[in-house]
């Protein structure tokens, strides 16, 4: 009995000996018989024995396993591909520029060496790496004829993309907590949000963000991929990967999606709780000017949270989440490329301290004397 799958490019040939598998089953069944198992086990034992005898007479099975995947991305005519390449490249460069400016301003201007702007500087630095985990490969993919990515490269992209997204969720939660302390407990804020606590929170966000996804990555990478290797997406997403696995893995899917939901909604509930307390405190302020000032303090952060979590909610809650060829790719592009571009604009245009610091830094660089 010889079983052989058709070979395709990007597949690796592996010899699997059925003799060892059947022998293992026989050993288990014999141990059950010795322990006084039910009579039906005798029938199963006989069936397995006859199957194993047939297998032992056959040659080793040959199967083919995927060594690379094909990312279809956004298919279309060459003219459309060229336009899309130019658009994504401009978005990428502007994102690097905008977030890089925020990082430099926070570093160079000592007046911004406060917890709020330290969090913002780390958030901007995170956005640079977040967009870099997908866009460069997408640009190469547009120009490539084969549009392939190696098995290892696919799961590395999967790991960094989702780890950085998780880190972003944690930073948004910590920044909301910082705004809660600044507005609801202004007198105690300096004693609570000390430099030491700020550094600890930053480290916790980075470390915990990168420690969350090794388990899902290992579980998915251990699945056998011996069939089609085409991913109708521009990133290695768990949904298409599960559909390409040769065997169903409902328990692994349940673990991964539960894990993903906890990572998304846990920080979101924390942000919601922080801003509920902020809103309650602001509504108690008697003067309209005081309420306006309090809202302006957290307005930029609220806009970023709404933009980031709005696209995530549409991605994972709406009916379009099951359509990888439609809205799913567009929404993924929005929260992985467009959102990092808009964040520095939101923070710089709505924040007087950032605008003043930018003027000081530019003046210092252009007029050193």
Q: What is the pLDDT of residues 297-350, one digit of tens each?
A: 778 888 889 888 888 877 766 554 455 566 778 888 888 899 999 988 888 766
DSSP conformation letters of 92-141: HHHHHHHHHHHHHHHHH-GGG-SHHHHHHHHHHHHHHHHHHTTHHHHHHH
pLDDT at 187 over 80: yes
| Minimum mean pLDDT range among 116-130, 198-212, 304-318 | 304-318
**C-alpha closest to that of 333 among 139, 199, 143:** 139
Q: Is the dihedral of CA 200, 203, 209, 215 positive or negative?
A: negative
349, two tokens: 């245009």
CATH classification of 70-366, choosing from 3.40.50.300, 1.20.1070.10, 3.30.479.10, 3.90.1150.10? 1.20.1070.10
Q: How confident is the model at residue 25 (pLDDT cuts 50, 70, 90)?
A: very low
- Domain-wise residue ranges, the chain: 18-59, 70-366
- Which of residues 295 and 109 earns the better pLDDT score? 109
Q: How confident is the model at residue 9 (pLDDT cuts 50, 70, 90)?
A: very low
**Helices 115-132 + 135-143 axis angle, to 10:** 20
The residue-averaged pLDDT of 349-368 equals 71
pLDDT one-digit tens code per residue, 61-120? 445 577 889 998 888 788 888 899 999 999 999 999 999 999 999 998 888 899 999 999
Alpha-carbon gap, residue 257 to 264, rounded angstroms: 10
126, two tokens: 């995170």
Using DSSP's 3-state secondary structure scheme, residue 61 falls into: strand
Query: What pLDDT, on the 0 to 100 scale, is given for residue 318?
Result: 56
Q: Is the dihedral of CA 183, 189, 192, 197 positive or negative?
A: positive
| Minimum mean pLDDT range among 45-49, 67-71, 202-206, 253-257 | 45-49
Q: How confident is the model at residue 154 (pLDDT cuts 50, 70, 90)?
A: very high
pTM passes above 0.85: no
236 Cβ neighbours under 8 A, 6+ residues apart: 69, 71, 149, 154, 155, 157, 158, 161
Per residue in 328-345, is it b (16+ CB within 10 Å) or e — as a string? bbebbbbbbbbbbbbbbe
Query: What pLDDT, on the 0 to 100 scale, is given for residue 64?
Result: 52
pLDDT at 58 over 50: no
pLDDT at 125 over 80: yes
Query: What pLDDT, on the 0 to 100 scale, is given for residue 299?
Result: 80
Query: What pLDDT, on the 0 to 100 scale, is given for residue 59?
Result: 41
170, two tokens: 């944690």
pLDDT at 18 over 70: no
The residue-averaged pLDDT of 198-210 equals 96
As a whole-number percent, the residues of the chain with pLDDT over 70 amount to: 76
359, two tokens: 């003027």
The residue-averaged pLDDT of 231-255 equals 88
């Amino acid at each position: 009995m010889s079983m052989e799958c058709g070979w395709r490019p990007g597949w690796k040939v592996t010899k699997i000996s059925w003799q060892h598998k059947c022998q293992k089953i026989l050993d288990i069944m014999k141990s059950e018989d010795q322990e006084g198992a039910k009579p039906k086990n005798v029938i199963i034992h006989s069936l397995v024995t006859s199957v194993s005898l047939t297998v032992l007479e056959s040659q080793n099975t040959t199967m083919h396993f995927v060594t690379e995947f094909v990312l279809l991305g956004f298919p279309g005519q060459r003219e459309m591909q060229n336009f899309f390449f130019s658009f994504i490249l401009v978005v990428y460069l502007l994102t690097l520029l905008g977030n890089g400016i925020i990082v430099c301003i926070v570093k160079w201007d000592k007046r911004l060496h406060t917890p709020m702007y330290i969090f913002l500087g780390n958030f901007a630095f995170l956005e640079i790496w977040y967009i870099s985990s997908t866009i460069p490969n997408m640009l190469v993919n547009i120009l490539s004829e084969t549009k392939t990515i190696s098995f290892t490269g696919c799961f590395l992209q999967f790991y960094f993309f989702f780890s950085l997204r998780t880190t972003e969720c944690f930073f948004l939660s910590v920044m909301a907590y910082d705004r809660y302390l600044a507005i609801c407990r202004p007198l105690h804020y300096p004693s609570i949000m000390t430099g030491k606590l700020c550094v600890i929170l930053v480290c916790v966000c980075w470390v915990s963000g990168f420690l969350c996804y090794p388990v899902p990555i290992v579980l998915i990478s251990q699945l056998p991929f011996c069939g089609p290797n085409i991913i109708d997406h521009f990133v290695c997403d768990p949904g298409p990967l599960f559909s390409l696995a040769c065997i169903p893995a409902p328990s692994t899917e349940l673990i991964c999606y539960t894990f993903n939901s906890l990572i998304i909604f846990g920080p979101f509930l924390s942000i919601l709780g922080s801003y509920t307390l902020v809103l309650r405190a602001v509504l108690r302020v008697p003067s309209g000017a005081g309420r306006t000032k309090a809202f302006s303090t957290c307005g930029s952060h609220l806009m970023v949270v709404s933009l980031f979590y709005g696209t995530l909610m549409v991605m994972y809650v709406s009916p379009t989440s099951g359509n990888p060829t439609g809205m799913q790719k567009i929404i993924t592009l929005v929260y992985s490329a467009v959102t990092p571009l808009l964040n520095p604009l939101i923070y710089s245009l709505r924040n007087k301290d950032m605008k003043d610091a930018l003027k000081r830094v530019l003046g210092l660089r252009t007029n050193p004397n």
